[in-house]
Amino acid sequence: MEIKNKSIALLIDAENISASYIEIIIDEANKYGTINYRRVYGDWTTPQLNPWKTKISEFGLTPVQQYAYTSGKNSSDFTLIIDAMDILYSEKVNSFCIVSSDSDFTKLVTRLREDNMFVFGMGESKTPISLVNSCETFAYLDKMLKAEPKEEEVVEVETKESKKQIAKIKANKTVSSITPLRRIKQELTNIINANMEDDGWAYWSLIAQLLQKKFPGFHPRNYGDNTRILQFFEKMKEFEVKKEATVSYIRNSK
């Protein structure tokens, strides 16, 4: 997949994304090419964006002000969309990175891709599947962030809080748009069957591209295993992998 050496417009929705992700965002975007635009959007008069202010100079970001004219509405949406279209028409980039978990940007991504732009996204697991699937690829930032384990903290809360409070916490859990692994394996099986040679083996490079198109947000780290995709499937009993020189193959286990 030709994703290297692209000229990128990095547009970050600061009102929707935590500043703690910024280093991961920059590192991930740099894998695709050169970041020509580094803009971060929000109402900078609000204290909620203070954590972002300390990151602006450190990472060379350009803050874009958008006052909240409507209560309860993410004010940065409109300015980010307008800027994206201005950048598109300037013809100075060939790729966009939209960093947000807000489904309101789904139409923007679709519009950019209509103009043959390579668009990749970043957001949290709560990102609606409509936005994830509209991108070429999508990275879940909360899965990439190396957070400290919180298992002990959860146990402590459960011993002190009432069952009613615990039930409320569980009910308010954010729904994840990460595709269940069982579906990934099922679709991979189907893709292999549709593209295998007479001996049952299929070219991994082709299979990987088709799988990425089917699930733009897929990555082993979403399931707790930060390995290469082929190594991830190689560990599973459902698949077999072999390598011949520089070519890799995969097939469904018999």
- Residues 2-18 have a mean pLDDT of 87
List the CATH number of the domain containing 248: 3.30.420.610
In this prediction, residue 72 carries a pLDDT of 52
Is 155 domain-assigned?
A: no
pTM equals 0.77
CA distances from 22 to 18, 64, 96, 122 (A): 8, 16, 16, 11
> Which of 144, 161, 191 delimits the end of a domain?
144
pLDDT tens per residue, range 94-152? 999 999 999 999 999 999 999 999 999 999 999 999 999 999 999 999 999 854 344 33
Q: Does 106 or 5 have the greater pLDDT score?
A: 106
Distance in angstroms (rounded) separating the CA atoms of residues 191 and 214 = 10
Indicate whether 116 and 187 sit together in one domain. Answer: no
How confident is the model at residue 156, as a pLDDT? Answer: 39
Any domain includes 65: yes
Asked whether residue 140 falls in the same domain as residue 192, the answer is no
Cα–Cα separations (whole angstroms), residue 154 to 51, 151, 170: 26, 5, 11
Sign of the four-CA dihedral 52, 53, 57, 62: positive
Percentage with pLDDT > 70 across the chain: 83
Residue 153 lies in a domain: no
Q: How many domains in the chain?
A: 2
Specify whether 203 is located in the same domain as 128.
no
Asked if 128 and 50 sit in the same domain, the reply is: yes
Closest CA to 15 of 80, 78, 74, 79: 74
Domain that residue 49 falls in: 6-144
58 lies in some domain: yes
For residue 63, what is the domain's CATH number? 3.40.50.1010
